[in-house]
Structure 1
Amino acid sequence: MKNESLLSFMMPKNACNSHLHIIDPKFPNDGKAAEQIGTINTYMNIAGKLHLDRAVFVQAKPFGCDNNCLLDAIRKFGRSNSVGIAVVTNEATNAELKKLNDGGVKGIRFSVWNPNNAVVSFDDCLPLSKRVYDFGWNMQLHMSAKQLAERIEIIKQIPGKIVIDHMGRMDPNLGVNDPALPVLLSLIDRGNVWVKISGPYLNSVKGFPWNDSDELARKIAGYAPERIVWGSDFPHVTEKVKPDETYLTNMISRWLPDEKTRQLALVTNPEELYGFGK
């Protein structure tokens, strides 16, 4: 029985949170996991209250290329209801990639938005995309809009699915007027690109309640509702004051005001992108 008092809209069955991190300091890390903590048990409690039945766990930076915390989260949330996005370099062996695939991994993330703390190099993206193509994995790109535009020709060569993080990280001062937005939309037109509408605080200059992120989210969703997925970005490592999970989830109704688009973003599109229900 849904507790609709928490939400401003009816959460559809099999709704997916397509972007979150599990950070448990019991796993080997760079020493920063304890200050960024967000365990699988904590998230499962949140997901239960907000009726987020499915999850896409994204490897967190404190663990580098050690994906054991990620695999543990998939096991505990359930293989039928969750998948993982790993972080690896092109030095990973075929056996290591197969182990990740067997553990529920469905993609590789390249978080290069801040080159100063990037764990991997974008140079590995194209060769890795070819190595994991038969797995059906996606290449998840977290980069600035400027970086996206600069690397567009390489991105076009990626043979499989591509996922763009956090609405393409347009310049928050420009929003929908960022000259890189048409570049992002042209990628969507290629048919193998999805965009995560997530991270309102990353796409805002005004701060809470992040209303200035709404126009960009609606623009992307309106352009290609069949190519968007939503994520909460738990446990919000960039934010000193952690946002309320219910408030963040209720932002879905601001960005996706009709039931049909919410069904696509929360259920249908994640099923196509990540293979849920297959």
Structure 2
Amino acid sequence: MDVAYPHSSGTRKPACAAPAGACDAHMHVYDRRFALHGSPDAMVDNATAADYRLLQQRIGTERTVVVQPRVHGTDNSVTLDAIRTLGTARARGVAVVRPDVSDAELERLHAGGIRGIRFTLYTAANAATGFEMVEPLAQRVHALGWHVQLHWNADQIAGHAALLARLPCTIVFDHLARLPLPGALSHPAFDVVSRLRDSGRTWIKLSGAYLDSKTGAAGGYEDTTPIAQAWVRQAPERVVWGSDWPHPTESAAGKPDDAMLFDLLGGWVPDEAQRRRVLVDNPALLYDFS
């Protein structure tokens, strides 16, 4: 019998089987029990940790990284609760904080499974943080062994190259680094990120294929393959995969097929052993899974 999955089109399971311990390194939980920030229109209903468990059953992942969504601002209670619900041995989180966050709060977040902080600055709308906060916060979380996760557009990455080079901690770029398609490899941001990756502390999330693809689902997001494969070739030990569920940028009627997105990884990383590295070994290292 077909099963409907919240915020996910289609009902089939992926053709590509997830290895044991596979991690979805980028998803969000929305829950009205917790404080909202900015426009309430950005709220996504039926996207709790319990709803996400249905997606886990569909794609076969066992570990999860919960990324604090913009609509919940800097109240990371929703993410901490999701980590507990999904299981502290199998879930980690990425928080959003501001420079006035106390050391005690950072320690509390760490104990709750947080291993990084995110700066969602690709658009200024409802942003809880700013570019001026990146460096001081990076200095503080570096002492905890955390990383900074950046959802910036390609022009922002290129324009802040000097800032990025100064950061002391690990850097994780969201969604293939949001390079424009076609022509991703020729954008100045590609060289900026490539130089950072040469330093050995910069990672890429193989996620969000639908965000910049021009071919779209009808074309199998095939135009994302060259940039995804370029990131994998550069440093296969520093890429992770994420679903981006519940796909908050997409309309309720236009949610992507998560089985298709998971199978897309098979084209991006056709070697099975290397794909296991992307799904299991790499996220275990980056997110401190035992």
Aligned residue number for residue 256 of structure 1: 269
Aligned residue number for residue 117 of structure 2: 108
Note the alpha carbon deviations across 1:196-236, whole angstroms, 9 max, x for none. Answer: 01100112123223221121111111221111001010000
What TM-score comes out, normalization by structure 2 length? 0.90
Aligned residue number for residue 60 of structure 1: 69
Q: How much has 1:264 moved relative to structure 2?
A: 1.5
Q: Distance in 1 between matches of 2:229 and 2:279?
A: 15
Aligned residue number for residue 176 of structure 1: 185
Percent same amino acid among aligned pairs? 38
Aligned residue number for residue 7 of structure 2: none
Q: How much has 1:172 moved relative to structure 2?
A: 2.0
Q: Distance in 1 between matches of 2:111 and 2:144?
A: 10
Q: Which runs of 5+ in 1 are unaligned?
A: none
Is 2:109 aligned against 1:96? no
Task: Give the residue type in structure 2 aligned to 1:210.
Answer: Y
Aligned residues: 273
Instruction: Confirm or deny: 8 A CA contact 1:111 1:118 kept in the other structure.
Output: yes
3-state SS of paired residue (2:166): coil
Q: Distance in 2 between matches of 1:56 and 1:138?
A: 13
Q: How much has 1:134 moved relative to structure 2?
A: 2.2
Instruction: Confirm or deny: 8 A CA contact 2:43 2:71 kept in the other structure.
Output: no
Q: Distance in 2 between matches of 1:37 and 1:165?
A: 24
* Aligned match for 1:16, one of 20, 23, 28: 23
Q: How much has 1:169 moved relative to structure 2?
A: 0.7
Equivalent residue runs for 1:84-163 within 5 Å:
84-163=93-172
* Aligned match for 1:195, one of 193, 204, 209: 204
Instruction: Confirm or deny: 8 A CA contact 2:31 2:78 kept in the other structure.
Output: yes
Instruction: Confirm or deny: 8 A CA contact 1:25 1:33 kept in the other structure.
Output: no
Is 2:290 aligned against 1:268? no
Task: Give the residue type in structure 2 aligned to 1:207.
Answer: G
Q: CA 1:61–1:80 in 2, change beyond 3 Å: closer, same or farther?
A: same
Is 2:242 aligned against 1:235? no
Q: How much has 1:37 moved relative to structure 2?
A: 4.4
Q: How much has 1:260 moved relative to structure 2?
A: 1.9
Instruction: Confirm or deny: 8 A CA contact 2:115 2:147 kept in the other structure.
Output: yes
3-state SS of paired residue (1:107): strand
What TM-score comes out, normalization by structure 1 length? 0.94
Q: CA 1:80–1:35 in 2, change beyond 3 Å: closer, same or farther?
A: closer
Q: Distance in 2 between matches of 1:113 and 1:57?
A: 19
Is 2:232 aligned against 1:225? no
Aligned residue number for residue 33 of structure 2: 26
Instruction: Confirm or deny: 8 A CA contact 2:176 2:207 kept in the other structure.
Output: yes
Instruction: Confirm or deny: 8 A CA contact 1:8 1:253 kept in the other structure.
Output: no
Q: Distance in 2 between matches of 1:163 and 1:34?
A: 25
Q: Distance in 2 between matches of 1:9 and 1:244?
A: 14
